[in-house]
A and B are shown apart, each in its own frame.
Chain A
Amino acid sequence: MITAISYKSKQINFKEKAFKKTLALSAIIVVVILLAIFFTLLINSLPSLKAIGLKFFYQTTWDPVSDQFGALPFLVGTLLTSFLALVISTPFSIAVAIFLGEYYKKGPVAEIFKNIVDLLAGIPSVIYGFWGLFVLVPLVRELEMKLHVAPYGVGIFTSSVILAIMILPFSVSLSRQVISMVPSHLKEAAYSLGATRHEVITKIIIPYTKSGLFAGLLLALGRALGETMAVTMLIGNTHDLPTGIFSPGNTMASVIANEFTEATGRIYTSALIEMGLFLFVVATIINVIGKQIIKRFTLE
């Protein structure tokens, strides 16, 4: 006969509860940190919000010496580099995603390519900046000379090319997943009607996954907006409104990185923080929209 074991139910209950509470606490801390960052930015940008007001968004002069803080050039710089990066990167990311999500879903080829694409995301930003300075800048300079524009080498275009490479893994990883999720019964239906593989991809897979592909691009855009180091090294850091895609410029993130340590005066510091707040809000909105689209896509 097996002797009855006396369970100490109190002890078991205590462990169970303590474990659950620890997990909950960790989760709460994450939320608190996020909120704390938001409110820190908000409170510290109040002086600038009051002093500058909406002029912050439409004035083109950024001159800390005369207390003029118009962030429009940086706003334009950020949007221009990010969207240009997206335009450059989209065809590649969709092509790579189709290649990995449809043609080589499994097997050694797929594994190697997937890992290499993921590795791109792991390279430190400063290395992208270095590579850009040594390889990309001379190339862009040659291109600029051929196009008869001022051959700076650094500028919006150069930053966009680097950003395009940096955001590629983010959109590829999501797009690849949604493409590999297309039900095989739909593809079979298309094949049975005499569609070629190319027709199945363009007329069945892409329409079916377009919201997921869009979400992937949106998340990549979110990355591009906030990317700092590589862009700071390559954009030229001028305070003027960019006049074209080859002109040097500045982004909000690189202005903050460049000027925060030397910012003297309450309004100057506060204006930089306001820029951070704005970047934070925009990036959050883009992320939330992207995640919502993915959620709807995976529910379908």
Chain B
Amino acid sequence: MESPILKATNFNAFFGKNHILKNINLEVHKNNVWAIMGPSGCGKTTFIRCVNRMHELVPNASVEGSLQLKGEEIYDMNPVVLRRKVGMVFQRPNPFPTMSIYDNVIAGYILNGIKLSKMERDDIVETSLKQAALWMEVRSTLHKKGTFLSGGQQQRLCIARALAMNPEILLLDEATSALDPISTSMIEELIQQLKAEYTILMVTHNMQQAARVSDKTAFFYLGELIEAANTKTIFTNPKHEKTQEYITGHFG
């Protein structure tokens, strides 16, 4: 089998003295969609924020153990270089209000001061917007501000912005929880298409969404990874009692 894109070995995360993630072991392989599930406060968002080291923007945050991206130790890398390889989409759509749609897509390059020729820029913008299923809707208004778009369109713009950096892995932090059902289903469809080229880790509160979209599911509870397996197995034949209780709606 191919070596994993992301590999956590006895990984722990802390906020000050609070032990948020406890001994996480997980392997994420290429072109898989992982759903990270669990009740509020279980550490699922912390986990994906450790992958691009956004976790450490909070003072007093620290980690222990090993977390590797393509065999390279994430916490030995320069966080700025790492984040260019890891795309992230947030809970609320957050396009840059001072930039046009076009500039938002290549924001990663603008921010990092990477010079591109006009042709390269045009190419990246078109490819990324097509991948994010937004091209047809915005191609005539590329130079307008991104904040005029609807919430769902804004979120797809944020996906395009992350894809433009050609990331090794894409992190979605409850990316549909602020959207209406139609926009949500569009983004779910999009995730299915993106699977062909990208590896995706998505945090979700929505169990139906996890069941619909993901190949694999990891269930977190109180900072521990209780169970990680094929999504089908988790939903039909969970091994652990807690998982069973959660997916049948006994708590969470």
Contacts and interface: CB of A to CB of B under 8 A. Distances in A.
Interface of A: 183, 185-186, 188-196, 199-200, 203-204, 207-208, 300
Query: Which interface residue of B86, B88, B94 has the most chain A CB atoms within 10 A?
Result: B94
Contact of A191 (B57, B92, B95, B110): B57
B112 A188 contact: no
A194 B111 contact: yes
Contacts of A193: 83-84, 107-108, 111-112, 161-162, 165
Given A195-B111, A203-B110, 8 more contacts: A188-B54, A193-B108, A194-B83, A194-B111, A195-B80, A195-B112, A199-B112, A200-B111
A203 B165 CA distance: 18
Contacts of A194: 80-84, 108, 111-112, 165
B90 interface: yes
A208 B107 CA distance: 14
A208 B57 contact: no
Nearest to A107: B59
23 contacts: A183-B94, A186-B97, A188-B54, A189-B95, A189-B107, A189-B158, A190-B107, A190-B111, A191-B57, A192-B83, A192-B162, A193-B84, A193-B111, A193-B165, A194-B82, A194-B84, A194-B165, A195-B80, A196-B80, A200-B111, A203-B111, A204-B111, A300-B97
B97 to A, nearest CB: 7
Nearest to B86: A192
A300 B113 CA distance: 28
Contacts of A183: 94
Interface residues of B, number: 28
B98 A208 contact: yes
Contacts of B94: 183, 185-186, 188-189
Interface string B86-110: 1110101011111000000001101
A191 B108 contact: no
A199 B107 contact: no
B96 A186 contact: yes
Given A191-B54, A194-B80, A204 B96 contact: yes
B52 interface: yes
Contacts of B110: 203
Contacts, number: 67
B128 to A, nearest CB: 13
A191 B94 CA distance: 12
Given A185-B94, A186-B94, A186-B96, A191 B113 contact: no
A18 to B, nearest CB: 48
Nearest to A207: B98
Contacts of A191: 54, 57, 83
A185 B92 contact: yes
A191 B88 CA distance: 10
A110 to B, nearest CB: 13
Contacts of B161: 189, 193
Nearest to A190: B111
Nearest to A185: B94
Contacts of B108: 193-194
Q: Which 6 A-B pairs have the closest CB atoms?
A: A194-B84, A193-B108, A194-B83, A192-B88, A195-B111, A207-B98
Contacts of B165: 193-194
A50 B54 CA distance: 69
A192 B169 CA distance: 12
A203 B103 CA distance: 12
Nearest to A206: B98
A183 B96 CA distance: 11
A178 to B, nearest CB: 14
A185 B94 CA distance: 6
A185 B175 CA distance: 13
B84 A188 contact: no
A199 B92 CA distance: 22
Nearest to B161: A193
Nearest to A300: B97
A8 to B, nearest CB: 53
Nearest to B114: A194
Contact of A188 (B57, B95, B98, B162): B57
A208 B161 CA distance: 19
Contacts of A192: 52, 54, 83, 86-88, 90, 162
Nearest to B57: A191
Contact of A199 (B54, B81, B111): B111
A190 B84 CA distance: 10
B238 to A, nearest CB: 32
Nearest to B92: A185
Contacts of A204: 96, 98, 111
A221 to B, nearest CB: 24
